[in-house]
Protein backbone atom coordinates (compact mmCIF):
# COMPACT_ATOMS: atom_id res chain seq x y z
CA UNK A 1 0.00 0.00 0.00
CA UNK A 2 1.55 3.31 -0.94
CA UNK A 3 0.48 6.70 -2.05
CA UNK A 4 3.45 7.67 -4.13
CA UNK A 5 2.97 8.36 -7.81
CA UNK A 6 5.37 6.46 -10.03
CA UNK A 7 7.85 8.43 -12.12
CA UNK A 8 5.71 7.59 -15.17
CA UNK A 9 2.65 9.06 -13.44
CA UNK A 10 4.56 12.18 -12.42
CA UNK A 11 5.74 12.60 -16.00
CA UNK A 12 2.17 12.15 -17.18
CA UNK A 13 0.96 14.85 -14.78
CA UNK A 14 3.55 17.22 -16.20
CA UNK A 15 2.56 16.38 -19.74
CA UNK A 16 -1.11 17.02 -19.00
CA UNK A 17 -0.37 20.35 -17.34
CA UNK A 18 1.88 21.40 -20.21
CA UNK A 19 -0.84 20.50 -22.71
CA UNK A 20 -3.40 22.60 -20.85
CA UNK A 21 -1.03 25.55 -20.67
CA UNK A 22 -0.06 25.38 -24.34
CA UNK A 23 -3.67 25.30 -25.37
CA UNK A 24 -5.12 28.00 -23.13
CA UNK A 25 -7.72 30.15 -24.84
CA UNK A 26 -6.09 33.36 -26.07
CA UNK A 27 -7.61 36.72 -25.21
CA UNK A 28 -10.32 37.60 -27.67
CA UNK A 29 -10.20 34.18 -29.33
CA UNK A 30 -13.53 32.83 -30.55
CA UNK A 31 -14.74 30.09 -28.20
CA UNK A 32 -15.76 27.63 -30.90
CA UNK A 33 -12.55 28.08 -32.91
CA UNK A 34 -10.53 27.48 -29.75
CA UNK A 35 -12.67 24.50 -28.78
CA UNK A 36 -12.27 22.77 -32.15
CA UNK A 37 -8.52 23.32 -32.16
CA UNK A 38 -8.27 22.10 -28.60
CA UNK A 39 -9.99 18.79 -29.37
CA UNK A 40 -7.99 18.35 -32.57
CA UNK A 41 -4.73 18.75 -30.65
CA UNK A 42 -5.99 16.45 -27.90
CA UNK A 43 -6.73 13.83 -30.54
CA UNK A 44 -3.18 14.08 -31.83
CA UNK A 45 -1.92 13.31 -28.31
CA UNK A 46 -3.40 9.85 -28.72
CA UNK A 47 -7.04 9.91 -27.76
CA UNK A 48 -6.97 12.69 -25.19
CA UNK A 49 -10.13 14.05 -26.81
CA UNK A 50 -11.99 10.92 -25.64
CA UNK A 51 -10.25 10.03 -22.36
CA UNK A 52 -12.83 7.52 -21.22
CA UNK A 53 -13.10 5.60 -24.47
CA UNK A 54 -11.33 2.27 -24.64
CA UNK A 55 -8.17 2.10 -26.73
CA UNK A 56 -9.96 -0.16 -29.23
CA UNK A 57 -12.21 2.78 -30.16
CA UNK A 58 -9.44 5.38 -30.22
CA UNK A 59 -9.27 6.23 -26.52
CA UNK A 60 -5.94 6.63 -24.71
CA UNK A 61 -6.18 3.38 -22.72
CA UNK A 62 -5.01 5.00 -19.50
CA UNK A 63 -4.48 3.31 -16.16
CA UNK A 64 -6.88 4.20 -13.32
CA UNK A 65 -4.21 6.44 -11.83
CA UNK A 66 -3.85 8.31 -15.11
CA UNK A 67 -7.62 8.82 -15.22
CA UNK A 68 -7.47 10.15 -11.68
CA UNK A 69 -4.67 12.56 -12.57
CA UNK A 70 -6.57 13.73 -15.65
CA UNK A 71 -9.69 14.39 -13.58
CA UNK A 72 -7.70 16.31 -10.98
CA UNK A 73 -6.00 18.45 -13.60
CA UNK A 74 -9.11 19.12 -15.68
CA UNK A 75 -10.92 20.37 -12.59
CA UNK A 76 -8.26 23.04 -12.14
CA UNK A 77 -7.75 23.97 -15.78
CA UNK A 78 -9.83 25.94 -18.23
CA UNK A 79 -10.75 23.39 -20.87
CA UNK A 80 -13.67 23.25 -23.31
CA UNK A 81 -16.99 22.19 -21.88
CA UNK A 82 -18.37 18.82 -22.95
CA UNK A 83 -21.95 17.60 -22.91
CA UNK A 84 -21.94 14.03 -21.63
CA UNK A 85 -24.83 12.50 -23.59
CA UNK A 86 -23.08 11.44 -26.78
CA UNK A 87 -19.54 10.94 -25.48
CA UNK A 88 -20.18 9.41 -22.11
CA UNK A 89 -23.59 7.82 -22.34
CA UNK A 90 -24.47 6.76 -25.87
CA UNK A 91 -20.93 5.94 -27.02
CA UNK A 92 -20.43 3.08 -24.49
CA UNK A 93 -23.76 1.59 -25.54
CA UNK A 94 -22.83 1.80 -29.22
CA UNK A 95 -19.48 0.19 -28.43
CA UNK A 96 -21.06 -2.54 -26.33
CA UNK A 97 -24.26 -3.34 -28.17
CA UNK A 98 -24.34 -1.47 -31.48
CA UNK A 99 -23.36 -3.19 -34.73
CA UNK A 100 -20.34 -2.20 -36.77
CA UNK A 101 -22.35 -0.15 -39.24
CA UNK A 102 -23.89 1.85 -36.35
CA UNK A 103 -20.51 2.37 -34.72
CA UNK A 104 -19.08 3.71 -37.95
CA UNK A 105 -22.12 5.87 -38.59
CA UNK A 106 -22.37 7.52 -35.17
CA UNK A 107 -19.09 7.39 -33.23
CA UNK A 108 -17.00 9.74 -35.44
CA UNK A 109 -19.51 12.61 -35.17
CA UNK A 110 -19.78 12.07 -31.41
CA UNK A 111 -16.00 12.25 -31.20
CA UNK A 112 -15.82 15.36 -33.38
CA UNK A 113 -18.55 16.96 -31.25
CA UNK A 114 -20.47 17.88 -34.38
CA UNK A 115 -23.72 16.18 -33.39
CA UNK A 116 -25.49 16.96 -30.11
CA UNK A 117 -27.36 14.10 -28.50
CA UNK A 118 -30.06 14.04 -25.86
CA UNK A 119 -31.29 11.19 -23.70
CA UNK A 120 -34.94 10.14 -24.02
CA UNK A 121 -35.48 8.06 -20.91
CA UNK A 122 -37.77 9.62 -18.25
CA UNK A 123 -41.49 10.20 -18.75
CA UNK A 124 -44.16 11.74 -16.54
CA UNK A 125 -45.03 8.27 -15.24
CA UNK A 126 -41.51 6.82 -15.43
CA UNK A 127 -39.05 8.59 -13.16
CA UNK A 128 -37.36 6.48 -10.51
CA UNK A 129 -39.46 3.62 -11.85
CA UNK A 130 -37.96 4.06 -15.30
CA UNK A 131 -39.13 0.69 -16.63
CA UNK A 132 -42.69 1.96 -16.41
CA UNK A 133 -42.20 3.95 -19.61
CA UNK A 134 -45.06 4.09 -22.12
CA UNK A 135 -43.74 5.81 -25.27
CA UNK A 136 -44.82 3.37 -27.93
CA UNK A 137 -42.88 2.12 -30.95
CA UNK A 138 -44.72 -0.05 -33.45
CA UNK A 139 -42.86 -1.97 -36.12
CA UNK A 140 -44.25 -1.60 -39.65
CA UNK A 141 -45.70 -4.65 -41.33
CA UNK A 142 -42.76 -4.90 -43.74
CA UNK A 143 -40.41 -4.70 -40.76
CA UNK A 144 -38.46 -1.68 -42.08
CA UNK A 145 -39.39 1.09 -39.64
CA UNK A 146 -40.94 1.89 -36.27
CA UNK A 147 -43.63 4.49 -35.63
CA UNK A 148 -43.05 6.27 -32.32
CA UNK A 149 -45.82 7.96 -30.31
CA UNK A 150 -45.71 9.34 -26.77
CA UNK A 151 -43.85 11.83 -24.60
CA UNK A 152 -40.56 12.13 -22.79
CA UNK A 153 -40.00 14.46 -19.84
CA UNK A 154 -36.98 16.08 -18.15
CA UNK A 155 -35.07 15.69 -21.42
CA UNK A 156 -31.91 17.69 -20.85
CA UNK A 157 -30.87 19.97 -23.73
CA UNK A 158 -33.47 18.46 -26.09
CA UNK A 159 -33.95 21.98 -27.49
CA UNK A 160 -30.41 22.06 -28.87
CA UNK A 161 -30.06 18.36 -29.68
CA UNK A 162 -29.67 17.00 -33.22
CA UNK A 163 -30.40 13.38 -32.26
CA UNK A 164 -32.02 11.50 -29.42
CA UNK A 165 -31.36 8.03 -28.01
CA UNK A 166 -34.67 6.85 -26.78
CA UNK A 167 -36.22 4.04 -24.78
CA UNK A 168 -39.52 2.96 -26.28
CA UNK A 169 -42.08 0.27 -25.54
CA UNK A 170 -42.56 -2.37 -28.20
CA UNK A 171 -44.32 -4.92 -26.02
CA UNK A 172 -46.47 -4.49 -22.91
CA UNK A 173 -47.65 -8.06 -22.50
CA UNK A 174 -44.99 -9.23 -20.01
CA UNK A 175 -43.04 -7.73 -17.10
CA UNK A 176 -42.28 -4.11 -17.72
CA UNK A 177 -38.49 -4.47 -18.00
CA UNK A 178 -39.06 -6.65 -21.04
CA UNK A 179 -40.44 -5.13 -24.21
CA UNK A 180 -38.31 -1.97 -24.14
CA UNK A 181 -36.48 -1.10 -27.34
CA UNK A 182 -33.54 1.28 -27.79
CA UNK A 183 -33.91 3.61 -30.79
CA UNK A 184 -31.87 6.47 -32.26
CA UNK A 185 -33.44 9.21 -34.38
CA UNK A 186 -32.99 12.84 -35.46
CA UNK A 187 -34.72 15.53 -33.41
CA UNK A 188 -35.28 18.00 -36.24
CA UNK A 189 -38.14 16.28 -38.04
CA UNK A 190 -41.87 16.38 -38.38
CA UNK A 191 -43.81 14.96 -35.45
CA UNK A 192 -41.37 16.06 -32.73
CA UNK A 193 -42.30 18.97 -30.50
CA UNK A 194 -40.02 20.28 -27.73
CA UNK A 195 -41.44 22.39 -24.90
CA UNK A 196 -39.25 24.02 -22.25
CA UNK A 197 -39.54 23.30 -18.52
CA UNK A 198 -38.16 26.17 -16.44
CA UNK A 199 -36.46 24.94 -13.27
CA UNK A 200 -36.16 26.68 -9.86
CA UNK A 201 -32.93 28.45 -10.77
CA UNK A 202 -34.78 30.21 -13.60
CA UNK A 203 -32.97 28.38 -16.36
CA UNK A 204 -34.09 26.35 -19.35
CA UNK A 205 -32.17 23.09 -19.42
CA UNK A 206 -34.84 20.40 -19.44
CA UNK A 207 -37.83 19.89 -21.70
CA UNK A 208 -40.88 17.89 -22.51
CA UNK A 209 -40.65 16.14 -25.87
CA UNK A 210 -43.74 14.92 -27.71
CA UNK A 211 -43.62 12.37 -30.52
CA UNK A 212 -46.45 12.06 -33.05
CA UNK A 213 -46.05 9.30 -35.66
CA UNK A 214 -42.26 9.70 -35.81
CA UNK A 215 -40.79 7.21 -38.28
CA UNK A 216 -37.54 5.50 -37.28
CA UNK A 217 -35.80 3.11 -39.69
CA UNK A 218 -35.06 -0.28 -38.18
CA UNK A 219 -31.33 0.20 -38.83
CA UNK A 220 -31.46 2.76 -36.01
CA UNK A 221 -32.36 0.17 -33.42
CA UNK A 222 -29.57 -0.82 -31.02
CA UNK A 223 -29.37 -4.57 -30.49
CA UNK A 224 -32.50 -6.64 -30.38
CA UNK A 225 -36.06 -5.53 -30.02
CA UNK A 226 -37.21 -5.79 -26.41
CA UNK A 227 -33.71 -5.81 -24.93
CA UNK A 228 -33.32 -2.05 -24.48
CA UNK A 229 -33.58 -2.21 -20.70
CA UNK A 230 -30.49 -4.40 -20.45
CA UNK A 231 -28.49 -1.98 -22.59
CA UNK A 232 -29.65 1.08 -20.66
CA UNK A 233 -28.99 -0.58 -17.31
CA UNK A 234 -25.42 -1.37 -18.28
CA UNK A 235 -25.01 2.33 -18.95
CA UNK A 236 -26.53 3.39 -15.63
CA UNK A 237 -23.91 1.32 -13.83
CA UNK A 238 -21.25 2.99 -15.95
CA UNK A 239 -22.76 6.35 -15.03
CA UNK A 240 -22.57 5.66 -11.32
CA UNK A 241 -18.97 6.72 -10.79
CA UNK A 242 -18.99 9.47 -13.39
CA UNK A 243 -21.54 11.49 -11.45
CA UNK A 244 -19.49 11.92 -8.31
CA UNK A 245 -17.54 14.87 -9.80
CA UNK A 246 -15.13 14.98 -6.88
CA UNK A 247 -12.29 16.87 -8.50
CA UNK A 248 -14.70 19.55 -9.57
CA UNK A 249 -16.05 19.70 -6.04
CA UNK A 250 -12.54 20.17 -4.65
CA UNK A 251 -12.10 23.09 -7.01
CA UNK A 252 -15.53 24.51 -6.13
CA UNK A 253 -14.81 24.20 -2.42
CA UNK A 254 -11.61 26.25 -2.74
CA UNK A 255 -13.56 28.83 -4.71
CA UNK A 256 -16.18 28.91 -1.98
CA UNK A 257 -13.54 29.56 0.68
CA UNK A 258 -12.15 32.43 -1.40
CA UNK A 259 -15.64 33.86 -1.77
CA UNK A 260 -16.33 33.52 1.96
CA UNK A 261 -13.13 35.45 2.65
CA UNK A 262 -14.56 38.42 0.71
CA UNK A 263 -17.61 38.53 3.00
CA UNK A 264 -16.94 40.92 5.88
CA UNK A 265 -17.96 39.97 9.34
CA UNK A 266 -17.07 42.37 12.17
CA UNK A 267 -13.40 43.11 11.76
CA UNK A 268 -12.73 39.92 9.90
CA UNK A 269 -14.44 37.79 7.30
CA UNK A 270 -16.81 34.86 7.16
CA UNK A 271 -13.97 32.34 7.33
CA UNK A 272 -13.25 33.65 10.86
CA UNK A 273 -16.74 32.60 11.92
CA UNK A 274 -16.32 29.38 13.89
CA UNK A 275 -19.73 27.99 12.96
CA UNK A 276 -19.29 28.58 9.24
CA UNK A 277 -15.72 27.34 9.32
CA UNK A 278 -16.82 24.13 11.03
CA UNK A 279 -19.36 23.44 8.29
CA UNK A 280 -16.71 23.98 5.62
CA UNK A 281 -14.35 21.65 7.50
CA UNK A 282 -16.94 18.90 7.85
CA UNK A 283 -17.65 19.14 4.15
CA UNK A 284 -13.97 19.02 3.25
CA UNK A 285 -13.36 15.96 5.44
CA UNK A 286 -16.24 14.13 3.76
CA UNK A 287 -14.83 15.11 0.39
CA UNK A 288 -11.34 13.86 1.34
CA UNK A 289 -12.79 10.51 2.41
CA UNK A 290 -14.89 10.23 -0.75
CA UNK A 291 -11.85 10.92 -2.92
CA UNK A 292 -10.21 7.86 -1.44
CA UNK A 293 -13.40 5.86 -1.81
CA UNK A 294 -13.16 6.69 -5.51
CA UNK A 295 -9.48 5.73 -5.64
CA UNK A 296 -10.21 2.44 -3.89
CA UNK A 297 -12.98 1.78 -6.36
CA UNK A 298 -10.69 2.53 -9.33
CA UNK A 299 -8.00 0.30 -7.84
CA UNK A 300 -10.34 -2.64 -7.36
CA UNK A 301 -11.68 -2.15 -10.88
CA UNK A 302 -8.13 -2.24 -12.21
CA UNK A 303 -7.25 -5.33 -10.18
CA UNK A 304 -10.36 -7.40 -10.75
CA UNK A 305 -12.03 -5.68 -13.67
CA UNK A 306 -15.05 -5.16 -11.44
CA UNK A 307 -16.18 -2.25 -9.34
CA UNK A 308 -16.03 -2.97 -5.62
CA UNK A 309 -18.89 -2.36 -3.18
CA UNK A 310 -17.38 0.99 -2.27
CA UNK A 311 -18.21 2.32 -5.75
CA UNK A 312 -21.93 2.07 -5.00
CA UNK A 313 -21.72 4.94 -2.53
CA UNK A 314 -19.90 7.37 -4.85
CA UNK A 315 -22.98 8.83 -6.49
CA UNK A 316 -24.74 9.19 -3.14
CA UNK A 317 -21.82 10.91 -1.44
CA UNK A 318 -20.63 12.86 -4.47
CA UNK A 319 -23.98 14.48 -5.22
CA UNK A 320 -24.59 15.29 -1.57
CA UNK A 321 -21.20 17.03 -1.41
CA UNK A 322 -21.99 19.09 -4.52
CA UNK A 323 -25.24 20.20 -2.91
CA UNK A 324 -23.60 21.15 0.36
CA UNK A 325 -21.11 23.38 -1.46
CA UNK A 326 -23.99 25.17 -3.17
CA UNK A 327 -25.84 25.55 0.09
CA UNK A 328 -22.82 27.08 1.82
CA UNK A 329 -22.52 29.51 -1.09
CA UNK A 330 -26.06 30.73 -0.38
CA UNK A 331 -25.17 31.03 3.30
CA UNK A 332 -22.12 33.09 2.38
CA UNK A 333 -24.29 35.46 0.35
CA UNK A 334 -26.24 36.34 3.49
CA UNK A 335 -28.64 39.26 2.97
CA UNK A 336 -27.87 39.30 -0.77
CA UNK A 337 -28.94 35.72 -1.45
CA UNK A 338 -32.48 36.76 -2.54
CA UNK A 339 -31.28 39.30 -5.18
CA UNK A 340 -32.60 38.09 -8.55
CA UNK A 341 -33.02 39.44 -12.06
CA UNK A 342 -30.47 40.94 -14.46
CA UNK A 343 -28.72 43.49 -12.26
CA UNK A 344 -25.61 42.75 -10.26
CA UNK A 345 -26.55 43.54 -6.70
CA UNK A 346 -24.29 43.21 -3.67
CA UNK A 347 -21.87 40.31 -3.69
CA UNK A 348 -20.77 39.23 -7.17
CA UNK A 349 -21.39 35.53 -6.50
CA UNK A 350 -24.77 35.93 -4.76
CA UNK A 351 -27.17 35.47 -7.67
CA UNK A 352 -25.25 32.64 -9.29
CA UNK A 353 -24.95 31.04 -5.87
CA UNK A 354 -28.67 31.03 -5.23
CA UNK A 355 -29.46 29.78 -8.72
CA UNK A 356 -26.76 27.13 -8.38
CA UNK A 357 -28.17 25.98 -5.08
CA UNK A 358 -31.69 25.69 -6.43
CA UNK A 359 -30.54 23.84 -9.53
CA UNK A 360 -28.32 21.57 -7.43
CA UNK A 361 -31.38 19.98 -5.87
CA UNK A 362 -31.71 17.81 -8.97
CA UNK A 363 -28.31 16.17 -8.34
CA UNK A 364 -29.92 13.75 -5.89
CA UNK A 365 -32.89 13.19 -8.20
CA UNK A 366 -31.56 12.53 -11.70
CA UNK A 367 -29.75 9.39 -12.81
CA UNK A 368 -31.54 7.40 -10.11
CA UNK A 369 -32.75 9.32 -7.03
CA UNK A 370 -30.69 8.83 -3.87
CA UNK A 371 -33.44 6.73 -2.34
CA UNK A 372 -33.39 4.42 -5.34
CA UNK A 373 -29.59 4.24 -5.12
CA UNK A 374 -29.96 3.16 -1.49
CA UNK A 375 -32.41 0.45 -2.52
CA UNK A 376 -29.80 -0.80 -4.97
CA UNK A 377 -27.02 -0.83 -2.35
CA UNK A 378 -29.32 -2.55 0.16
CA UNK A 379 -30.12 -5.28 -2.33
CA UNK A 380 -26.90 -5.72 -4.29
CA UNK A 381 -24.26 -4.98 -1.65
CA UNK A 382 -25.84 -5.79 1.70
CA UNK A 383 -28.01 -8.61 0.34
CA UNK A 384 -31.15 -7.29 2.01
CA UNK A 385 -34.34 -8.67 0.57
CA UNK A 386 -36.83 -6.45 -1.11
CA UNK A 387 -40.03 -5.64 0.75
CA UNK A 388 -43.04 -7.59 -0.42
CA UNK A 389 -45.37 -4.75 0.52
CA UNK A 390 -45.98 -2.32 -2.31
Partner 1 sequence: MNFELSEEQKMIQQSVERFVQDNYDLNTRISLSANDFGYSSDFWKSMAELGWLGLPFDESDGGFGGNQIDVLVIMEQFGKGLVLEPFLASVVMGGGALKKGASESLKNEILPGLIEGTKQLSFAYAEQQSRFDLEDVITSARKEGDGFILNGQKSMVQNAETADHIIVAARTSGGQIDEDGITLFLIDTNSEGLSMDNFPTVDGLRASEIILENVSVSEDRVIGNIDEGFEILQSVANDAILALSAEAVGAMEVLYKDTVEYTQQREQFDHPMSEFQVLQHRMVDMFMEYEQCKSMLYRATMESVQDPKAAQRTIHGLKHLIGKSGLFVGENAVQLHGGMGVTEELRVGHFFKRLLVIDSMFGNADHHLQKFTTY
**243 forms part of the interface with partner 1 (CB under 8 A):** no
Q: Is 15 helix (H, G, I), strand (E, B) or coil?
A: helix
Query: What number of residues does the chain have?
Result: 390
Q: Which stretch binds partner 1 (CB under 8 A): 219-227, 240-248, 260-268, 287-295?
A: 287-295
Neighbours of 259 (CB within 10 A): 20
Residues 65-94 that bind partner 1 (CB under 8 A): 65, 68
Pick the closer one to partner 1 by CB: 218 or 307: 307
Phi-psi sector, 286: left (phi>0), alpha (psi -120 to 50), beta: alpha
Instruction: Decide whether 65 or 155 has the Cβ nearer to partner 1.
Output: 65
Q: Which C-beta is closer to partner 1: that of 95 or that of 381?
A: 381
* Distant-in-sequence, close-in-space partners of 255: CB < 8 Å, separation ≥ 6: none
**Contact between 275 and partner 1 per CB under 8 A:** no
Q: Annotate 349-374 with DSSP letters as a single string.
A: THHHHHHHHHHHGGGGTTTS-HHHHH
Secondary structure (DSSP) of 181-228: EEEEEESSSTTEEEEEEE-TTS-EEEEEEEEEEEEEEGGGEESSTTBH
> Which one among 116, 293, 319, 337 touches partner 1, defined by CB under 8 A?
293
- Single out the residue of 287, 234, 250, 308 nearest to residue 64, CA to CA: 308
369 makes contact with partner 1 (CB under 8 A): no
Name which of 317, 331, 318 is nearest 256 in CA terms. Answer: 331
CB of 143 to partner 1, least distance (A): 44
Question: Per-residue DSSP letters for 285-338?
Answer: HHHHHHHHHHHHHHHHHHHHSS--GGGGGHHHHHHHHHHHHHHHHHHHHGGGTT
- By beta-carbon proximity to partner 1, the closer residue of 337 and 373 is 373
Interaction between residue 239 and partner 1 (CB under 8 A): no
Q: How far apart are CA 163 and CA 185, in angstroms?
A: 6
Closest C-alpha among 304, 303, 360, 300 to residue 327: 360
Q: How far is the CB of 299 from partner 1 (least distance, A)?
A: 5
Q: Which string of x and - marks every residue 38-67 that binds partner 1 (by CB under 8 A)?
A: ---------------------------x--
Whether 123 and 150 have beta carbons less than 8 Å apart is answered as yes
As a whole number of angstroms, the distance between CA 145 and CA 225 comes to 12
Nearer to partner 1, 162 or 375 (CB): 375
- CB of 25 or CB of 381, closer to partner 1: 381
Site string for partner 1, 312-331 (x = CB under 8 A): -x--xx--------------
Q: Which of 285, 338, 340, 345 contacts partner 1 by CB under 8 A?
A: 285
Q: Near partner 1 by CB under 8 A, which window of 38-46, 258-266, 291-299, 357-365? A: 291-299
Residues in contact with partner 1, total (CB under 8 A)?
Answer: 48
By CB under 8 A, is residue 161 in contact with partner 1? Answer: no
**Nearest distance from residue 128's CB to partner 1, in Å?**
13
Other beta carbons within 10 angstroms of residue 179's beta carbon come to 19
Residues that bind partner 1 (CB under 8 A): 1-6, 9, 65, 68, 274, 277-278, 280-282, 284-286, 288-293, 295-296, 299-300, 303, 309-310, 313, 316-317, 371, 374-375, 377-378, 381-389
Amino acid sequence: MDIELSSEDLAFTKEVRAFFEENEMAKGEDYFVWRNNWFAKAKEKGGWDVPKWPAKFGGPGWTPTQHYIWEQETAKANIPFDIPFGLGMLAPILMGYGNEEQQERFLPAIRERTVNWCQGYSESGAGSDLANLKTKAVLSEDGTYYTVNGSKMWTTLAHVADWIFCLTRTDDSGIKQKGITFLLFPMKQEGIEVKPIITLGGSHTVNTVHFTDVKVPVENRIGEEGKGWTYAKGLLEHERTGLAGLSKSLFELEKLKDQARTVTRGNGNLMDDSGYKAKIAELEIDLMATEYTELRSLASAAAGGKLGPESSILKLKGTEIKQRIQKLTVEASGIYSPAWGDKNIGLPFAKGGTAGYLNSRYFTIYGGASEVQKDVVAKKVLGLTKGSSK
